[in-house]
Amino acid sequence: MNYDYLYTFIQTCALEFPFYAYFMTGPWSRRVASVVALNAFTHPIVFFVLMSAVKLPLVYALGVGELFAFGFEAWACFYFLKMSPTRALLAATTANLASWQLGPILTYGLFFS
């Protein structure tokens, strides 16, 4: 694993954490572990399969990747974290929208400006 990917993974977890934590219950350590676990499954699939191995144009790969991440994370919140369907959808929607919108801005601002 290179450090660029590790930075991206940590940044995604940090950006999504406040949104997921708002909808989760239980101790903070469980909330942190849950956000890391959700992203530990979806993030490598989006980056190393959908955006690298599958030969799609970048904009399609991004769209498919975001839909996959949102869908799986909403399902996992419902199935594993026992959230109601509404809370699971709201948690996954807000968290993924935040990381999708703010992640590229932070990465660009820190590394390319």
Helix (H/G/I), strand (E/B), else coil: 2: coil
59-68 pLDDT, tens digit per residue, is 898 899 999 9
Which residue range(s) make up the domain with 18? Answer: 3-111
Sequence-separated contacts (24+) of 82-87 with Cβ below 8 Å: 83/23, 83/24, 87/23
2 has pLDDT over 80: no
Task: Provide the pLDDT confidence category of residue 97 given band limits of 50, 70 and 90.
Answer: very high
* Confidence check: pLDDT of 113 > 80: no
Mean pLDDT taken over the chain: 93
The answer to whether residue 80 scores a pLDDT higher than 90 is yes
- Which pTM value belongs to this model? 0.91
Q: Give the pLDDT confidence of 35-64 residue by residue, as tens digits.
A: 999 999 999 999 899 888 888 888 898 899
Q: Give the count of domains, the chain.
A: 1
